[in-house]
Amino acid sequence: MKKFISNAEISTGLGSPDEIWEQIYTHKEWGKYPSEAIIRFIARNFYNAKDRNSVKVLELGLGTGANLWFCAREGFRVSGIEWSKSGIERFEKRMQEEHLSGQIDTLLQGDYAQKLDELEDESFDAFMDSYSLAYNDFEKTKNIIEKAVKKLKKGGKFLSITPSANNFGFKEDKSLGHHCCRPVEGSDAFTGVIRFCDEEDIKKLYEGKDYEVQSISKLTHSSKGVVENDLFIITGVKHG
């Protein structure tokens, strides 16, 4: 596998999410390590747990599993849902090689809007989304969040990392839906239709009857005066 390959070399950005990401994960070495935001979220909320092996973490869109690999290494139980079969296979292979397979509870392949229904309600201490929810339109995202919150125990936490409109290559195409675009430039080029957020969107998406946002922060990366990535980092809680 080529160590670095551009999205344009392997994807047109057209087709269903599972088709696009199967192409990417089959041909590209993508995502071996978690972001600092993921590490901080897990550390702040669960490092002091009396029994880390009883803490259950769910990821929506696990990709090739970097975030769940980190959680498993830290002693937590992990579950995830992913569109791409290759992404799951790469994660399982890595976990086997590093003798961490015993930390895996459930891995499901498919659209988490449906696959969440296969998981038990109030069974997870946390769920995470690292950019994956952004590949769903506004209404579907709200539905997914509602379902994911039901899977949390009372007092459970959630983290979502999602882009703002400032990312290089983002230009709203109203025909694709509210705040949606199909970038052909920048780091998200040719990965399909992406939905970006503003703070009004965040309140509508991540707050509900029994859950609310606890914090919203920004992570911005720029180069030579160009904002390459501008991400909202959202944390929240399900009320007990």
Q: Tell me the pLDDT tens digit for each residue of 228-240.
A: 999 999 999 999 7
* Phi-psi category of residue 122: left, alpha or beta, with phi > 0 → left and psi -120 to 50 → alpha: left
Report the alpha-carbon distance of residue 153 to residue 155 in Å, rounded. Answer: 6
Mean pLDDT of the chain: 91
11 band by pLDDT with thresholds 50, 70 and 90: low
pLDDT-wise least confident of 14-28, 108-122, 128-142: 14-28
Domain 7-238 fold: Rossmann fold (3.40.50)
Ranges of each domain in the chain: 7-238
pLDDT of residue 189: 87
Q: Tell me the pLDDT tens digit for each residue of 46-82.
A: 999 999 999 999 999 999 999 999 999 999 999 999 9
Closest CA to 128 of 214, 61, 208, 43: 61
DSSP per-residue letters across 190-235: TS--EE-B-HHHHHHHH-BTTEEEEEEEEEEEEETTEEEEEEEEEE
Is 94 within 8 Å of 164 (Cβ atoms)?
no
32 band by pLDDT with thresholds 50, 70 and 90: confident
pLDDT of residue 31: 65
Q: Tell me the pLDDT tens digit for each residue of 175-225.
A: 999 999 999 999 888 888 999 999 999 999 999 999 999 999 999 999 888
